[in-house]
Amino acid sequence: MPFLPIYDKFSVMRKQCAVVSLLSLAILFSVLVGCKTLESASLQSGPFKTVYGQGEDLDLTGLVVMGTYSDDSYRQVQVSPANISGYNKHQPGTQNLMINLSGNSLYFSVEVKPLLALTITRPPTKTIYRQGESLDLTGIIVTATWEGIKDGYFPLASLSASSFDPMSLGSQIIRLNGEGVIAEVEVQVRPLSTLAITKLPTKTLYRRGEKLDLTGLELTGTWEGLGSSVIPSSSILVSEFDSIALGNQNIVLSYSGKSANFRVAVVPLQSITVTRTPSKTVYKEGETIDLAGLELTGFWEGIGNSLINIDATTVSGFDTTKAGTQTLRITIENRTATFPITVIGLSYIEIRQLPEKRVYALGESLDISGMIALGIYTDNTNELIPLQQLTISRFDSYRLGEQTIVVSFNGRTATFTITVVQSGAAQPR
């Protein structure tokens, strides 16, 4: 039976695949390769680079370590900076470095030459700044002079820059410190010369109560020798806007000590119109107003039409106790619109079903559970009256005998009788 292994016997403790081929059928299965431990290691060759300038990072290019494993295999061992200890790029002199590989220690030496000078051989791409901009050293090239070795580029990551004040106008010297050696580069911070609105906001006319909207605004600044640039909206200081005061207002935009302004206007409401009446326009006497479905449209000069949100506080003229047609008025900003509703009068109320309890012992509280009261209206319809809307009177739980209880609703009354008996007496329902 042919056996075609496709796994790496040198890999350490991981699943691999193998294929068994039999009668043109291939079976793929997993095998677990056992851990091959490193028994010993030897330094075949050290890194190509053994002399460093102070501040340079370790370079392991050329380092070759060979190892013998527990299965008697002999092959190259992968070495990373994590396996190396003893290197200090800041400390000049000879340094002995150790390679630690599974308890096997190997050694090699390097020499770090002291840094004598730093020279700016190419300044940063950006040396002139707008007031408020952050320092940007992109493009700078710093050349290092080390003792006894060829000059070379100093790693930018190993440089620290002195503080830069983006708000201080004029020339500033930026001191670059590498291993205690200083190089200097001069930059300039220039003031904003002019500030101009190059695009007005899309919205300049407002209804009362609307918030200021600067969408579409473009504010452009000009700096001497740097040209023009659009100011980020997040950096612009905007003056207060009064959305209630009618008429024109100046909005002042400020940035870096300069300002520009534009005019907006809060325009009055010209008219309001009921463009859709409420879903409910017929009420039974005693019902509360329901504005669901009502659509009110306002018109503003220069803005056009827009729907207005309303609530019951803006509506007057509704009297739930007055039967007949009523004209309701909506008033907003001294503008008025009307719509009609009808209130159907209540003729009388009747008790369709008596309370479950009609005999009481002295001192007991009245209980009208089970009672059904109806309102009979002038259109010959009737409505169930919620018990909590009824007013009950003339009940005295300390007066023995039969009593007539009065039930009231919207000025109409009905009665039923109950009996108060001595405590302990038979209490028929």
pLDDT tens by residue, 102-154: 889 999 999 999 999 999 999 999 999 998 889 999 999 999 999 999 999 99
Instruction: Using pLDDT thresholds of 50, 70 and 90, give the confidence band for residue 17.
Output: low
Question: Strand runs (DSSP E) across 323-363, as ranges?
Answer: 324-332, 335-344, 346-353, 359-361
What is the rounded distance in angstroms from the CA atom of residue 422 to the CA atom of residue 401?
9
Q: How confident is the model at residue 28 (pLDDT cuts 50, 70, 90)?
A: low
Average pLDDT score over residue span 58-84: 94
Q: What is the mean pLDDT of the chain?
A: 90
| Token digits of residue 58 | 């370790």
3-class DSSP state for residue 86?
A: coil
* pTM confidence score: 0.60
pLDDT at 26 over 70: no
Taking CA atoms, 268 is separated from 21, 245, 310, in Å, by 90, 10, 17
Q: Which residue has the higher pLDDT, 1 or 74?
A: 74
* DSSP reduced 3-state for 158: helix
pLDDT in tens, 297-348: 999 999 999 999 988 889 999 998 899 999 999 999 999 999 999 999 999 9
**Comparing 38-113 with 346-421, is the CATH topology the same?**
yes
pLDDT of residue 11: 47
Task: Give the distance from CA 369 to its chain's centroid.
Answer: 53
Task: Find out if CATH 2.60.40.3630 is the number for domain 346-421.
Answer: yes
Question: With bands split at pLDDT 50, 70 and 90, how would you rate the model's confidence at 12?
Answer: very low
Domain ranges of the chain: 3-32, 38-113, 115-190, 193-265, 269-344, 346-421
Residue with tokens 């081929």: 21
CA distance 215 to 205: 13
- Phi (first) and psi of residue 81, to 5 degrees: -55, -25
Q: What percent of the chain has pLDDT over 90?
A: 82
Place of tokens 């209206």: 377
CB 412 within 8 A of CB 374: no
Structure token digits, residue 293: 């479905």
Q: Is the pLDDT of residue 6 over 70?
A: no
What's the whole-number mean pLDDT along residues 151-176?
A: 92
Bridge partners (DSSP) listed for residue 16: 31
Give the mean model confidence (pLDDT) for residues 14-24.
Answer: 51
Q: How far apart are the C-alpha atoms of 372 and 363, rounded to whole Å?
A: 25
Q: What is the mean pLDDT of residues 212-221?
A: 97
Confidence band (pLDDT; 50, 70, 90) for 45? very high
Residue 34's pLDDT band (boundaries 50, 70, 90)?
A: low
What integer pLDDT is reported at residue 265 of this predicted model?
A: 97
pLDDT for 120 equals 95
Kindly indicate whether the domain formed by 115-190 is annotated with CATH number 3.40.50.720.
no
Residue with tokens 């909506």: 330
Residue-level pLDDT at 53 = 94
| Residue with token string 């449209």 | 297
> What is the dihedral angle through the alpha carbons of 328, 332, 335, 340, rounded to the nearest 10 degrees?
-10
Specify the pLDDT at position 25: 52
The pLDDT value given to residue 224:
87
**Record: fold of 193-265:** Immunoglobulin-like (2.60.40)
State residue 282 phi and psi, 5-degree precision: -120, 125
For the stretch 258-297, pLDDT in tens is 999 999 999 999 999 999 999 999 999 988 999 999 999 9
Section 151-160 average pLDDT: 92
Q: Confirm or reject CATH 2.60.40.3630 for domain 269-344, answering yes or no.
A: yes
Which residue has 């900003």 as its token pair?
333
Instruction: Return all residues near 91 (Cβ < 8 A) that are at least 6 apart.
Output: 54, 112
Q: Which CATH architecture has domain 38-113?
A: Sandwich (2.60)
Does 13 score more than 90 pLDDT? no
Q: Which residue has the tokens 């010297």?
A: 173
Give mean pLDDT, residues 180-195.
94
One-character DSSP codes across 241-254? --SSS-EEEEEEEE
- Where are the strands (E) in 70-133, listed by range? 74-77, 84-85, 93-101, 104-113, 115-122, 128-130
Residue 307, strand partner residues: 297
pLDDT at 21: 53
Q: What is the pLDDT of residues 365-418, one digit of tens each?
A: 999 999 999 999 999 999 999 999 999 999 999 999 999 999 999 999 999 999
Q: How many residues does the chain have?
A: 429
Q: What pLDDT does 313 receive?
A: 86
